[in-house]
Amino acid sequence: MRLIDDLLDTLPNGRICDVRIGLHWTAVVAEADGIRRCGLASTLIDGHEHGVVDVPQAGQLETFSALDLARFAQSDRSTMASIGVATINALLPPLPASWTDENAEEVLARHGANRGVALVGHFPFIPRLRPQVGGLFVLERNPHEGDVPETAAPEILPQADVVAITGLTLINHALDGLLKLCPAHAVVLVLGPSTPLSPILFEHGVHILCGSVVTAVEPVLKAIQQGANFRQVHRAGVRLVTMGQK
């Protein structure tokens, strides 16, 4: 979890204003340095066993300092790690001068033209992307038709010209290991709403970040707490942005 540790070292402390854990997305609203921001992360759960406590501090999360809640990202409990990554995304200082309004599909189509692409995580744009790139391997923990199991990463990633990794791997603590498998010549992206828009990731071998910025906090919180998927959350008030290495 070296990447998470490095991210935590850059964050300001602050006040937690709100925490929402939905079916698909977790949102944390934090105020730091006079700025109130909302961060997102995929909601991961370990199972639905009766009697299992996923978040021991449920109902009291707003009493934590922002940094203490961000440290949940180090937890081996999936839902707590989701809360932690959402808090990290809420606390990161905004860098609008570094953002462009380009989504991950557009970035992958541009960099993957006539090149081999390895995509860790199954995204809805895959059928549209496939004919635009030289070749596409999709690695997924729960493979869809045409995907390959994530266990094939040590074989596939070192051969790719472009490697794109879902930000969800920061939550399940797989990102550090996946980055080590990327060849030196590859263009490496981290994508999805869980992705921290921080230059710290560039120090770990990432070249491009494709993430999200919440522009309408209350509508997004309402959508998340009512079970919205990302398409619905996006419509409620999220801007898709890309940040490249300087």
Rounded Cα distance, 167 and 164, in Å = 9
Say which CATH topology domain 98-212 has.
Rossmann fold (3.40.50)
For the stretch 81-107, pLDDT in tens is 999 999 999 999 999 999 999 999 999
Residue 240, both tokens: 């898709």
Same fold, 2-94+213-238 and 98-212: no
CATH class assigned to 2-94+213-238: alpha beta
Compute how many other C-beta atoms are within 10 angstroms of the C-beta atom of residue 191.
27
For the stretch 1-44, pLDDT in tens is 799 999 999 999 999 999 999 999 999 999 998 999 999 999 99
Q: Where are the domains of the chain?
A: 2-94+213-238, 98-212
For the stretch 64-86, pLDDT in tens is 999 999 999 999 999 999 999 99
pLDDT for the residue 47: 75
Is the pLDDT reported for residue 51 higher than 90?
no
Please give the model's pTM, rounded to 2 decimal places. Answer: 0.96
Contact assessment for residue 122 and residue 138, using Cβ atoms and an 8 Å cutoff = yes
Burial class (CB in 10 A: 0-12, 13-18, 19+), 22: middle
What is the rounded average pLDDT of the residues 141-154?
A: 92
Rounded Cα distance, 97 and 167, in Å = 22
Rounded Cα distance, 23 and 8, in Å = 26
